[in-house]
A = this chain, B = another copy of it.
């Protein structure tokens, strides 16, 4: 049989390593012939935009380069399948393409939305007695997937964040005046990434002095009181804040965001960082700066976690083994078997239990004041950011893998 792999959702540093893992395992398995890459997720199947991965991965260097390339080399999509009872035409189209390319297993790398596709597609194939396995390979920097210890992509995001936050901490302390630095971190509904900044405490950094998460209550009065308190002990206070902190039912920055119109009359979508910068300026009056780490959190492969990249590769290859063993409608998942030394095994969980859900940071990891995390969090995060994968350099910058597609590319035929 042949197999097909596709990437979906937001980019990470590790999703290409999972593709490399799928390819590698397939090449070692005699029952698998070709590995197709589907361009722009499931849309590449529907539109028949498939490439033969043998044409892309021709050497050891190609494989290593793919592992060192951030974002999705095959492109991504945000496509939600309708239920097949409502509209079966897209399912029929997918089946037709899979049959044409003799695809016996499909691997979908993505987050909880992508697992919805894994569920729907595998259920359709089962119901129609079509012998195609569908396997979900997790990835998200948000680390919010249920039934897995953590998600590929998260460790690299956490490592980039820790490294950068430490450098920002050095930068913020140069002048001999009280200052506050607010760093806004991705994570709309779950605070995993923001909380992971606590790893710096393992190296005797006091920064981040304060950590605010969507899982804890948040208010303007509270953060101002907390910062004032920290300024008594430190001249230079660094605050890690999740973009999704809420006070009650609304995002904290929402009132601020909707309150102002820009030059074009649109409401001004500024984030929590800018909001808090203004708040500190107004209510404390010291030197204050806000920093938004933006997409660099998900694409900074030059500082990827080797643990993360290795695990992303491994979970991809384990996915192929699961498909060959006849599993379908599952997501591959990590089970932490030991923390010192750190080991994870890989298992398959029902994708239905993961799709469209999210896993929050445990409440017991957050301190009573709701402005920092406990040591259990450090123990959990630390193994995930270990090790570095040196980039391949050319002219002083890392080399990335890029597909060279013909302009009017629309599939093999």
Give chain A's interface residues, CB within 8 Å of chain B: 10-11, 39-40, 43, 69-72, 75-78, 159, 162-164, 166-168, 170-176, 199-200, 202-203, 255-256, 259-264, 266, 268, 270, 278, 281-282, 289, 291-292, 294-296, 298-303, 305, 382, 385-388, 390, 393-400
Contact A302 B163 (CB under 8 A): yes
Complex Cα gap A176–B175 (Å): 46
A202-B395, A303-B302 as given contacts; A174 in contact with B263, CB under 8 Å: no
Closest residue of B by beta carbon distance from A302: B163
Complex Cα gap A260–B260 (Å): 8
Contact B299 A278 (CB under 8 A): no
Contact A171 B71 (CB under 8 A): yes
Contact A263 B268 (CB under 8 A): no
Contact A174 B71 (CB under 8 A): yes
A43-B176, A176-B40, A176-B43 as given contacts; A299 in contact with B171, CB under 8 Å: yes
Identical copies in the complex: 2
Main secondary structure of the interface of A (DSSP, over half): mixed
Contact B291 A264 (CB under 8 A): no
Q: Which 8 A-B pairs have the closest CB atoms?
A: A385-B396, A71-B170, A171-B299, A76-B174, A167-B299, A40-B176, A386-B396, A202-B395
A300-B164, A302-B163, A397-B385 as given contacts; A268 in contact with B260, CB under 8 Å: yes
Other-chain residue from B282, B390, B393 in contact with A264 (beta carbon distance below 8 A): B282
A299-B167, A300-B164 as given contacts; A382 in contact with B395, CB under 8 Å: yes
Other-chain residue from B162, B163, B268, B396 in contact with A162 (beta carbon distance below 8 A): B396
Contact A298 B171 (CB under 8 A): yes
Other-chain residue from B175, B295, B299 in contact with A78 (beta carbon distance below 8 A): B175
A168-B295, A174-B76, A295-B289 as given contacts; A199 in contact with B396, CB under 8 Å: yes
* In the complex, chain B residues whose CB is within 8 Å of the CB of A399: 203
* Shortest CB distance A241–B (Å): 15
| Extra 20 A-B pairs, beta carbons < 8 Å, given A11-B170, A159-B396 | A39-B176, A70-B167, A70-B171, A71-B170, A72-B174, A75-B173, A159-B397, A164-B300, A167-B299, A167-B302, A168-B295, A168-B299, A170-B299, A172-B295, A203-B397, A260-B260, A268-B268, A292-B292, A302-B303, A386-B396
* In the complex, chain B residues whose CB is within 8 Å of the CB of A167: 70-71, 296, 299-302
Question: Can you pick out 30 interface pairs between chain A and chain B where the beta carbons lie within 8 Å of each other?
Answer: A11-B170, A11-B171, A40-B176, A43-B176, A70-B171, A71-B167, A71-B171, A71-B173, A76-B174, A76-B175, A77-B176, A159-B396, A159-B397, A163-B398, A167-B299, A168-B299, A171-B298, A203-B394, A255-B263, A256-B262, A260-B261, A260-B262, A264-B281, A268-B268, A270-B270, A292-B294, A302-B303, A303-B303, A385-B395, A390-B390
Other-chain residue from B75, B168, B298 in contact with A296 (beta carbon distance below 8 A): B168
Most interface-central of A176, A202, A302, A396 (chain B CB within 10 A) = A396
Closest residue of B by beta carbon distance from A40: B176
* In the complex, chain B residues whose CB is within 8 Å of the CB of A400: 166, 170
Most interface-central of A203, A262, A399 (chain B CB within 10 A) = A262
* In the complex, chain B residues whose CB is within 8 Å of the CB of A203: 394-395, 397, 399
